[in-house]
Amino acid sequence: MQLDGIHHITCITADAPINVDFYARVLGLRLVKQTVNFDAPDVYHLYYGDERGAPGSILTFFEFPGAAPGRAGAGMIHSLRWRLSTPEALEFWAGRLESEGVACEHVPGESALRFRDPEGLTLELAVVATADPPLAAESEGIPSEHALLGFDGVRAYSHGLRTAERLLTEVMGFTQAAPGAYVLQGGRRSASYAYDEPPAALGLQGAGTVHHIAWCDRDSDHEAWREHLHEVGAHPTPIIDRQYFLSVYFREPQGVLFELATPSPGFAVDEDPDHLGEELRLPPRYEHLRGRLEQLLTPLENPRTRAARP
Ligand code: ZN
């Protein structure tokens, strides 16, 4: 069995309208789904990605309105990195972020930019040479050759001894690239996962923090992965239907919440692929709540809808 890189990364926001403006308009990702948190349907679950919401491009946010700012600590992912194709793209982004009032810095020794989202989450854009398919979205004001091309990897905080290494290398198929740094290769898409020493302060889940990362498996392997994780003592959950994919969750030994998610059925399962993310979609079991939820949730405008308007 082979994992195919990152499926999605899920974070927390306290303010969905600001979140949509930043990720869909400023960064140019496509808002591919407006739905609710299936475990707590009173709050939004927003999905961003490339044109179709392909695994490897998907960033999701739970909205907890008014949530206090969090901070990343041990056992939490603290930064996300997307790929760009060329140094010209990197310079385009340095200019675009500056014009949007987003402070950014060049990462020393790398062809990469580092900045923060409106709630303090650390993000990076890096020029990466890869044969992986580019996972880009079309967006007004962003030339297609400069678009974000899907995730490259993430970094997490962990103290010294890394008991996660066996799970990563022997069970999940990562290889160690450097001390505390791992790469997932050989599948349809590669990804990196690395640890840094955590800050002194304890981590706090809240606005601007990462909730979990999902790795992409294959539809026919999902049950076997769950069995395998169970056999090695990783305590996976039962398979859970997330409407757009099937999921199992487990915690890696350093404390980061992992998920394995399937590529199917994808985001076109409940709406026209040309109009993804333009209206609130609910799974059948929550349709009866639609009236109440539409009153409760702050209305959002997908920048794609606005751009299409004559
Ligand atoms: Zn997830």
Q: Determine the distance separating the centroid of ligand 1 and the alpha carbon of 72, expressed in angstroms.
A: 18
Compute the distance from residue 230 Cα to the ligand 1 centre, in Å: 19
Tell me what pLDDT residue 304 has: 85
Distance from the alpha carbon of residue 215 to the mean position of ligand 1, in angstroms: 9
At residue 310 the predicted structure's pLDDT band, cuts being 50, 70 and 90, is: low
First and final C-alpha spacing in the chain: 49
Could you tell me which residues are beta bridge partners of residue 247?
Answer: 240, 261
Residue 157 in this model has a pLDDT that exceeds 90? yes
Residue 35 Cα to ligand 1 middle (Å): 13
Q: Which domains does the chain have, with CATH numbers?
A: 7-307 (3.10.180.10)
User: pLDDT band at 109, cuts 50/70/90?
Assistant: very high
- pLDDT above 90 for 301: no
pLDDT in tens, 192-202: 999 999 999 99
- Over 90: is that where the pLDDT of 137 sits? yes
C-alpha of residue 95 to centroid of ligand 1, in Å: 32
Find how far residue 305's CA is from the centre of its chain.
23
Check: CB of residue 31 under 8 Å from CB of residue 304: yes
pLDDT at 305: 80
What's the gap in Å between 125 CA and the centre of ligand 1? Answer: 22
CA of 7 to the centre of ligand 1 (A): 8
Q: Distance from the CA of 99 to the center of ligand 1, in angstroms?
A: 32
User: Which amino acid type is present at position 150?
Assistant: G
What percent of the chain lies above the pLDDT cut of 70?
99
* Per-residue pLDDT at 163: 83
HEC-encoded secondary structure of the chain: CCCCCEEEEEEEECCHHHHHHHHHHHCCCEEEEEEECCCCCCCEEEEEECCCCCCCCEEEEEECCCCCECECCCCCEEEEEEEECCHHHHHHHHHHHHHCCCCEEECCCCCEEEEECCCCCEEEEEECCCCCCCCCCCECCECHHHCCCCEEEEEEECCCCCCHHHHHHHHCCEEEEECCEEEECCCCCCEEEEEECCCCCCCECCECCEEEEEEECCHHHHHHHHHHHHHCCCCCCCCEECCCCEEEEEECCCCCEEEEECCCCCHHHCCCHHHCCCCECCCHHHHHHHHHHHHHCCCCCCHHHHHHCC
CA of 289 to the centre of ligand 1 (A): 23
How far away, in angstroms, is 144 Cα from ligand 1 center?
Answer: 28
From the CA of 40, how far away is ligand 1's center (Å)? 14
Distance CA 97, CA 100 (A): 5
Residue 33 alpha carbon to ligand 1 centre in Å? 14
Q: Which residues contact 308 (CB under 8 A, 6 or more apart)?
A: none
Q: Is the pLDDT of residue 306 over 90?
A: no
Ligand 1 centre from 261 Cα, in Å?
Answer: 7
Let me know: does 54 contact 189? Beta carbons within 8 Å: no
Bridge partner residues of 54 (DSSP): none
CA of 87 to the centre of ligand 1 (A): 32
Residue 228 Cα to ligand 1 midpoint, Å, equals: 20
Q: Of 54-63, 85-94, 157-166, 290-299, which gets the smallest average pLDDT?
A: 157-166
How many whole angstroms from 282 Cα to the centroid of ligand 1?
A: 17
Does residue 309 carry a pLDDT above 80? no
Of 16, 43, 10, the residue nearest 301 (C-alpha)? 16
Calpha distance 81→113 (Å, rounded): 9
Sign of the alpha-carbon torsion through 10, 16, 22, 27: positive
83 alpha carbon, distance to own chain's centre: 13
**Spacing, Cα 264 to ligand 1 middle (Å):** 14
Dist. CA 267 → ligand 1 center (Å): 14
Q: What mean pLDDT comes out for the span 245-265? A: 97
Distance 47 CA to ligand 1 centre (A): 10
**Look-up: residue for tokens 């982004």?**
93
Q: How many A from CA of 92 to the centre of ligand 1? A: 31
